[in-house]
Amino acid sequence: MTRNLLVVLLNDASLTELRSAVEELGDGLPNVYVVAPAHIGPLHWLATDEQAAREEAGVRALEAEWMLSDEAAVGGEAGEADPTLAIEDALRRFPADEILLVGGSAADSSLQSSLGRLRVPISWVGRSPGPGSQRSRLREAVRGLSSGRSSATPFIAFAGANLALLLIGLLITLVVALIVWFIGLI
């Protein structure tokens, strides 16, 4: 029986580690579906400029597909910026027997716990995450805000936009005051 492996390429994914893991886990010629979550920075997210990040993720997925084409029947796609959402979307199209997370320095235990509810076995290729630290919890909170999973996202966006408008108003007021003062000197 062929296995269905869902491969998720995280930030620092090593394609050579991926190849050896698929060779080990696949009995015969497995079915592999590669998902590469897009890496969207905060500025790109705020500007809703995600196209370049999605294209780069698509290239990473195609590289992995090409490399694995000799060992498996391969398909793939670029995924959402949040790895959990990318995996959930892929599982709707591809019935995986196991999930391979490739990379690990950017991953943390919160990703592992959020994937635990999917009830699909998870294997880490590369470094597995350590215990959740304060920094990893902060990273997960920012990831939740930027992906829209957090209920605080609209409020943060509203407060940020108002703060930016306030700063712009103060800057304009300062410039006008300097112009008036400079004209008064002449």
Task: Give the residue, 116 or 59, on which the prediction is more confident.
Answer: 59
* Contact residues for 119 (Cβ-Cβ < 8 A; gap 6+): none
Confidence (pLDDT) at 60: 87
Answer yes or no: do 105 and 167 share one domain: no
Taking all residues of the chain, what is their mean pLDDT, rounded to a whole number?
A: 80
The residue with greater pLDDT, 137 or 101, is: 101
Mean pLDDT of 66-91: 86
Averaged pLDDT, 13-20:
77
Instruction: Output the pTM of the full model.
Output: 0.65
Q: Find the CATH number of the domain harbouring 12.
A: 3.40.50.620
**178 in the same domain as 90:** no
- State what percent of residues in the chain have pLDDT above 70: 77
Higher pLDDT, 20 or 90: 90
What 3-state DSSP class applies to 177? Answer: helix
Looking at the structure, do residues 58 and 111 belong to the same domain, yes or no? Answer: yes
Residues 71 and 142 in one domain: yes
Pair (142, 65) in one structural domain: yes
pLDDT tens, position by position, 157-181: 889 899 999 999 999 999 999 999 9
Q: What is the mean pLDDT of residues 79-108?
A: 82
The pLDDT of 18-22, averaged and rounded, is: 79
Shared-domain flag, residues 22 and 109:
yes
118 and 165 part of one domain: no
Note down the domain range covering 160.
152-186
Residue 70 and residue 135 in one domain: yes
Domains contained in the chain, number: 2
